[in-house]
Structure 1
Amino acid sequence: MDNLLIVDDNEDVLTQLKWGLASESFNLHFAKNVDEALAQFRKVQPGVVTLDLGLPPHTDSSVEGFRCLVEMLKAGTSAKIIVITGNDERENALNAIKTGAYDFFRKPIDLDELRVIVRRAFHLHAIEREGRERGGANAAPLEDCGIVGSCRAMRNILALIDKVAASDVPILISGESGTGKELVARAIHAKSLRRKGPMVSINCGAIPENLLESEFFGHEKGAFTGAVSTVQGKVEYADNGTLFLDEIGELPVNLQVKILRFLQEMVIQRVGGRKDITVNVRIIAATNVDIPRAIEAGQFREDLYYRISVVNIHLPPLRERGEDVRMIADHFLRRISSEVGKELTGFTPEALAFLESYTWPGNIRELENKVRRAVVLANSSRVSAEDLGFGTGNGQDDSFLLTDKTLKEARAMIEKKMVLAALTKFEGNIVKASEALGISRPTMYDLLKKHEIEN
C-alpha cells in the first residue's frame, strides 16, 4: 500500500486530513516540522507528500517549507509533492512549482478537491514507477501526453500502452468521437523507441478523396494540373517515426488497396512517379467506425483490417469512466484557468452534480469545451452549473432532477433536452448542432435514434 506523508504544524489541519483521508487506499504519516518531515520521508519513502510551506519557525512564512521541499527533491525519489499555501501566497506556490513541486493547493482545504489531486498524484507515481521497472525511464510520463484517469478500464489501457509502446506492432485505437484516441497514439509514440523521430498525422475523413493519395504518398512535378513542383507525402515525412492514420474507417475503398501494399512492403511511389521509395514507419490507426460491420457491408477490406489491428485498444466513453469525469474536469480547469490568467479553485457542489450525472455524448472533447466556456464566464472563484451551461441559468427547467427518477433516467433526459435545444437553435441543421454539442454526425444520428427524435 502506498504512503502519504502530511507535513503541517497545525493540529486542526492534521486532524481534518486524518479524518478526511482515512478511507483512502494509502497509509497516512504525519510530521509537524522540517526535521520530522525529512526523517519520515527517508523512513517511509512516500509516493505523495502534502507540504505546508508555512512551517515553524515563522521568521519568514515560507523559508522552512521551501527548505523541506528542496531537501525532499534532492533525495532523487519520484515522490509527488503537493505544497499547501494560504490564499495570499500565490507567488510562493508558483515558485514551489518552478522548484519542482508537483502541484499546489490553497487553504482553507476542501477535502473533496484535495482527494482528487492526491489520487491523481498517486496514479502518476504508480505509472512512472511501473515504467522505470520496465526500463522506460527515458520515456515521457503519460500525464505529459494529456492522459488523465484512474478508472479500471483506463488503468488497463495505460498498462497496455506501456507494454506495446516499445514494439513496432501496428495498433488500432477505437472509440467514440472525443474519447482521446489521438492522445493515446501520441502517448504510445512518446514512450516508444521512435520518440526522437516525427509523429505525422493524416485525418482520412477530412481530406477530399481526390487529394488523399497525394497527401499520403506525395507527387512528382507535372503529375496533374497544378503540380508545379515535386512534393513529399506524409508517409515520407514520417520516416523513422510514427504515422498516425486518424479515422481510418473513412478511407475510400480504392485507396485501401494502395495503403495495404504500402503496409506490406513499406515501399511507396509518389503520384506520377515510378521510383520505389523505401520508408520505415510505425503505424497507429484510429477509428470511431465499427470496422467489422463495415467489412460486412463491403466498405472496408478485411485484409487491411487485420494488417492494422495487431493490437486493439478500445477507449471507453466518458459516461462509463465514473470518477474520472471529475478528475479530468479538474485537470482542464487548472490548465485553462492558467492559460487565461484566472484564479479558479474548483467547482460548486451543484456543478459537480451535473458533471457526474450528465452522459457526455461528445465525451472528453465536450467536457473540455464546457470547462473552457466556464472559465471564461465564471465570476467567482468556483465554477457554477450555469457557467458550464447547465442549470436554470440557461433557461432550462431542471426541476426533474429533484424527482424520484433514477440517475440513468435523469441523464437520458438531460441528453435529450440538449439535443433538442441544439436542433432548435440551428433550425434542424445536423452539422451545426453536432458541432455545438462537440460530437460527430454519426453520434448525433445515434442520439436521434436513441431518443426517437424526428428531424
Structure 2
Amino acid sequence: MTTQSTSHLLVVDDDPALRMMLRGVLELNDFQVSEAESRDSALAMLTQQTDISVVILDLGLPPYAHEIVEGIATLQAIQAAILPVKVIVLTGQDQEAAALAAIREGAFDFLAKPASADAILRAVRRAELFLQKERELGELGITRIAINAQISDGLKGVRVDAEERLVRQILKETGFNVNQSAKRLGVKRENIYYFLKKFGIERDA
C-alpha cells in the first residue's frame, strides 16, 4: 500500500486544455493541484496558498505567449520573494535558450513539451525530495542559498549578493524576528538593523 501524497502543486499555463490534462495526471497520483494562467495569477496564488511546494511553469505566458520573457519574469519574481517552492519549467519555446534562461534564474528542472506523464511525475518527486532534504538541513541550522555570480563583478560583488540573500532568507524563515535572525546568523541585534538599512529590506518585502 502506497502512502498518499499531500503535496500541493501549482500549474501555470495559459492553455486550459493542457492545465486540465496536467491536473488530471497529478490528481490521479494524489497531489493537490491549483491552477494559474498568468504571472499575476500565479504570484497571487503563491501568496494566498502558502502550502504550495512545487510549481510547474510554462514560459510562454500572456501577453507574450510565443516568447519566454513572461515565464522568466514569473520565475524571477518567485526567486526574489524567496518562496519555499521548486519550479519545474515546462515549455515548447526554443529549448536551448529557454533552458539556459530558466537555469540561470533558479529553475529546479526543465522539461520540453510534449513531456510524458512519467517524466512530469519523476520531476515533481525529485523536487519534493530536494525540498524535504532542505527542510531537514534547516532543522540542523543549515540554510541553502542560491545566487547568480557575475565573475566580472569580482569577489566583493559576489560576497555582497550572497550576504543579502542570506539575510533576506533568514528573516523570512524566522517571520522577520530580529532576535531569532541575529541568533541564527551569529550576530548582534544591531547588525540585523544595519543589514535592514543596508539592503533596503522592509518587513513586507
Band the TM-score falls in, shorter-chain normalisation = 0.5 to 0.7
Matched residue, 1:41? 46
Matched residue, 1:127? 133
Does structure 1 retain, via aligned residues, the 8 Å contact 2:36–2:45?
yes
Q: How far has the Cα of 1:87 moved from its partner? A: 5.9
Pairing 1:52–2:58 present:
yes
Matched residue, 2:71? 65
The Cα offsets for residues 243-291 of structure 1, whole Å up to 9 and x where unpaired, read as xxxxxxxxxxxxxxxxxxxxxxxxxxxxxxxxxxxxxxxxxxxxxxxxx
SS of match in other structure, 1:82:
strand
Matched residue, 1:8? 13
Residue type at the aligned position of 1:109: A
SS of match in other structure, 1:116:
helix
C-alpha separation in 1, matches of 2:36 and 2:124: 17
* Structure 2 counterparts to residues 166-181 of structure 1, below 5 A: none
Closer, same or farther: CA 50–110 of 1 in aligned 2, 3 Å: same
Q: Which runs of 5+ in 2 are unaligned?
A: 1-5, 146-205
C-alpha separation in 1, matches of 2:44 and 2:72: 16
Pairing 1:32–2:40 present:
no
Q: Which runs of 5+ in 1 are unaligned?
A: 140-455
Aligned residues: 139
Q: Which has the larger radius of gyration?
A: 1
SS of match in other structure, 1:21:
helix
Does structure 1 retain, via aligned residues, the 8 Å contact 2:60–2:93?
no
Percent identity for Structure 1 against Structure 2: 38
SS of match in other structure, 1:47:
strand
C-alpha separation in 2, matches of 1:38 and 1:91: 24
Q: How far has the Cα of 1:62 moved from its partner? A: 1.1
Q: CA RMSD in A?
A: 1.8
C-alpha separation in 1, matches of 2:58 and 2:83: 19
Residue type at the aligned position of 2:136: E
Does structure 1 retain, via aligned residues, the 8 Å contact 2:86–2:127?
yes
SS of match in other structure, 2:89:
strand
Q: How far has the Cα of 1:52 moved from its partner? A: 0.2
C-alpha separation in 1, matches of 2:102 and 2:84: 16
SS of match in other structure, 2:131:
helix
C-alpha separation in 2, matches of 1:49 and 1:18: 12
* Structure 2 counterparts to residues 107-122 of structure 1, below 5 A: 107-122=113-128
Closer, same or farther: CA 59–11 of 1 in aligned 2, 3 Å: closer
* Structure 2 counterparts to residues 330-409 of structure 1, below 5 A: none
C-alpha separation in 2, matches of 1:138 and 1:71: 19
C-alpha separation in 1, matches of 2:118 and 2:32: 18
Does structure 1 retain, via aligned residues, the 8 Å contact 2:54–2:87?
yes
Q: Pick the aligned partner of 2:28 from 23, 32, 50.
A: 23
Does structure 2 retain, via aligned residues, the 8 Å contact 1:85–1:93?
no
Closer, same or farther: CA 137–95 of 1 in aligned 2, 3 Å: same
The Cα offsets for residues 281-339 of structure 1, whole Å up to 9 and x where unpaired, read as xxxxxxxxxxxxxxxxxxxxxxxxxxxxxxxxxxxxxxxxxxxxxxxxxxxxxxxxxxx
Q: How far has the Cα of 1:13 moved from its partner? A: 0.6
Q: How far has the Cα of 1:66 moved from its partner? A: 0.9
The Cα offsets for residues 156-203 of structure 1, whole Å up to 9 and x where unpaired, read as xxxxxxxxxxxxxxxxxxxxxxxxxxxxxxxxxxxxxxxxxxxxxxxx
Deviation beyond 6 Å, 4+ runs, structure 1: none
Does structure 1 retain, via aligned residues, the 8 Å contact 2:66–2:93?
no
Q: Which has the higher contact order (CA 8 A, sep 6+)?
A: 2
C-alpha separation in 1, matches of 2:59 and 2:80: 17
Residue type at the aligned position of 2:9: L
Closer, same or farther: CA 127–85 of 1 in aligned 2, 3 Å: same
Closer, same or farther: CA 4–35 of 1 in aligned 2, 3 Å: same
* Structure 2 counterparts to residues 48-447 of structure 1, below 5 A: 48-58=54-64, 61-86=67-92, 88-137=94-143
Does structure 1 retain, via aligned residues, the 8 Å contact 2:11–2:55?
yes
Closer, same or farther: CA 33–87 of 1 in aligned 2, 3 Å: closer
Residue type at the aligned position of 2:27: A
Does structure 1 retain, via aligned residues, the 8 Å contact 2:67–2:93?
no
Q: How far has the Cα of 1:60 moved from its partner? A: 5.7
Higher mean C-alpha displacement, 23-32 vs 1-10: 23-32
The Cα offsets for residues 341-375 of structure 1, whole Å up to 9 and x where unpaired, read as xxxxxxxxxxxxxxxxxxxxxxxxxxxxxxxxxxx
